[in-house]
Structure 1
């Protein structure tokens, strides 16, 4: 006679279950906020505020903004879900990363001019890209989304008259893109959490500006899909710098593509 004892380590399973519960809780909370706001404004309009020419346009504007924020959040959640399930497609092509970044910054330069004309916050974008062709294989649409997200955050949190500096350099077998701002900075205890889903250092301000708390999480997933790394350094009161590194192999003169 004897007995058999079977032990299962369920630590990872419990961790995954806790993560799922936390994720569902966060989604519910983030959607409840704009829905509660929408309900209140629509109820007030329905009770007669729609007849007030001063109040009605303002209330309708808020409902439109909250609806757009929920649509953005749902689209971002769907993107994350596809990445989690491994069904997100990457359509890569060879790109001179220097030209690619410069093209994106050209678009932001136009935004700077438009904001200045409209009397909005003034800021300057400083480039330190160099002239060397750095060819990498990326999904241009997805990587533009990553850079857009970091640039928009830099603009949001930069002070009036601030400078946003964009640098690109080669380091051995990788290229590193850095985007620095002169904003309020990120507390040291928050630095390790800023790429978590729904995590926001300044929750009130982020919601006020339409943030979903998912942008940096998506950026991290996209960079990971490209076998790269993304991280940040910051000092409170002195601004933040976000870094993106990608694998890079310099091409020699004999590495031209063969014609088919």
Structure 2
């Protein structure tokens, strides 16, 4: 499998080569063509000047006699006006013929062409030489007239010799810098790949050190957050497994011990001993029911039968049901709800279960002689319920864990006094299944407030 770095590098090299090629080719072609056009225009100007000089020569001498001898013997001094055109060495670049009005060559850059009769079509290709409005001859540039002279060829050659190496050097530098850049860009991805492979193999301690503030840095931070959540979930799973085993073991051990004692005749099957076994069976049944509730919620199969209900009436009913237990602990329950109905769309049995769990939690953590306040109020499109106790409160760490399964804030509490640690987890699942929100607020040493909202 080809790596992302390889693909980026290949793409970079391809784009760089294409860019450098275009940067060298296009300006080079444009420059050469522009220069050639300039030379061609210069040649045309020179031809015009040469035609004028030849016309002056003919006007001065009255014929073409001696023209070829003058051209070959004294280049650059062919009479008035010809010097600036026929500079020394120009004949080497100019391939030309001068013909009289009858098409006979009278002067040429090649001696063997003197006296040659040109065809009418050849004559038509020449530039007429006129004196007093009469055509007295023709200038016929040869095919080499457009060829570049040595200085011009040298200029273009040096231009090519400069542009191509500079372009290649610039492309090489660009590719080198691109390789370094793509390596730096893909290095965080390699770290992420290594860490992801470690997590896939079971090492949940893998983290990545990516400090950039771009999208890759955000991906690294998200990955670390995911890894932390996975590690925490794995720890909770292990703790939950151990807690379930512990919660099942204790009642079963008590039941088994009591039954074996009755079998051995140590205990008599009295009403008190049977009640003790029954109590343990009730605890087991409650634990299994709670676990089933959570399992259904996790699977999204928790059954919610919504109907319009008066939340104030549910609060009143649950408070009355919880009052005897609170009274035995010397705790009072205060209800603070408006007199008008607080209608919500909810499952009355499930919401009653939520309030029952919250009150049960508040009773366990409230001191003797304390009070618990159940407050309800309408807010825009929701109804908020608060259960306020006067217990020891929760630390910030406990607030972040209080809705976790099998979590007990007071480690000294037993299963009998502190519950199995599933009540608040069930509250969270039930409220969220209703589309509501649940949270806890507390200042350590000043009690706690558990709140939830339900949409109207």
- TM-score band w.r.t. shorter chain: 0.7 to 0.9
Over aligned residues, Cα RMSD in angstroms? 2.8
* Contact residue 69 and residue 212 of structure 1 kept, 8 A: no
Structure-1 separation of matches of 2:363 and 2:258: 30
Q: Which runs of 4+ in 1 moved over 6 A?
A: none
Query: Does structure 2 conserve the Cα–Cα contact (< 8 Å) formed by 1:126 and 1:164?
Result: yes
Shift of 1:206: 4.1
Matched, 1:192 2:406: no
Is the alpha carbon distance of 1:188 and 1:3 closer, same or farther for their aligned partners in structure 2, counting shifts above 3 Å?
Answer: closer
1:212-243: CA deviation from partner (whole Å, max 9, x where unpaired):
21111111000010111111122343322111
Greater RCO (Cα-Cα under 8 Å, separation 6 or more) = 1
- Once the two structures are TM-superposed, the CA of residue 95 in structure 1 deviates from its matched residue by 1.5
Secondary structure at the counterpart of residue 205 of structure 1: coil
Deviation at 1:106, TM superposition (A): 3.5
1:238 and 2:446 aligned: yes
Aligned partner (choices 66, 71, 74) of residue 288 of structure 2: 74
CA distance in 2, matches of 1:107, 1:35: 29
Partner Cα distance (2:410, 2:257) in 1: 24
State yes or no: 1:40 paired with 2:257. yes
- 2:308 equivalent to 1:100: no
8 Å Cα contact 2:310/2:343 also seen in 1: yes
For residue 18 of structure 1, report the CA deviation from its aligned partner. 5.4
CA contact (8 A) 2:365 2:392 kept: yes
Report the counterpart of residue 221 of structure 1 in structure 2: 429
Is 2:244 aligned against 1:27?
Answer: yes
TM-score (norm 1): 0.79
Q: Is 1:142 aligned to residue 142 of structure 2?
A: no
Give TM-score, length-normalised by structure 2. Answer: 0.47
Mapped pair 1:211 → 2:419: yes
Task: State whether residues 69 and 211 of structure 1, in contact with CA within 8 Å, keep that contact through their aligned partners in structure 2.
Answer: no
Offset from partner CA, 1:126-168 (integer Å, 9 cap, x none): 1210123332110111110000111122222222221111111
- CA deviations 1:150-187 (Å, max 9, x no partner) are 11222222222211111111233322110111123233
1:185/1:41 CA distance change after superposition, 3 Å: farther
Trace 1:55-66 onto structure 2 (pairs within 5 A).
58-66=272-280
Query: Per-residue deviation at 1:68?
Result: 1.2
Q: CA deviation at 1:4?
A: 5.8
**2:49 corresponds to which residue?**
none
CA distance in 2 between partners of 1:59 and 1:202 (Å):
30
How many residue pairs get aligned? The number is 238
C-alpha separation in 1, matches of 2:262 and 2:396: 44
Offset from partner CA, 1:107-129 (integer Å, 9 cap, x none): 334x26xx75xxx3322221210
SS in 2 for 1:209: helix
Structure 2 unaligned blocks of 5 or more = 5-189, 205-225
The CA deviation at 1:19 is 4.8
Structure 1 pair 24/173, CA: closer, same or farther in 2 (3 Å)?
Answer: same
Query: Hey, what's the Cα distance between the residues in 1 that align with 2:419 and 2:236?
Result: 22
SS of residue in 2 equivalent to 1:165: strand
User: Aligned runs of 1:172-191 on 2, under 5 Å?
Assistant: 172-191=380-399
Structural mapping, 1:118-129, within 5 Å: 120-129=328-337
Structure 1 residues 203 and 66 mapped into 2: Cα distance closer, same or farther (>3 Å)? farther
Rg larger in 1 or in 2?
2
Question: Which 5+ residue runs of structure 1 have no aligned equivalent?
Answer: 249-260
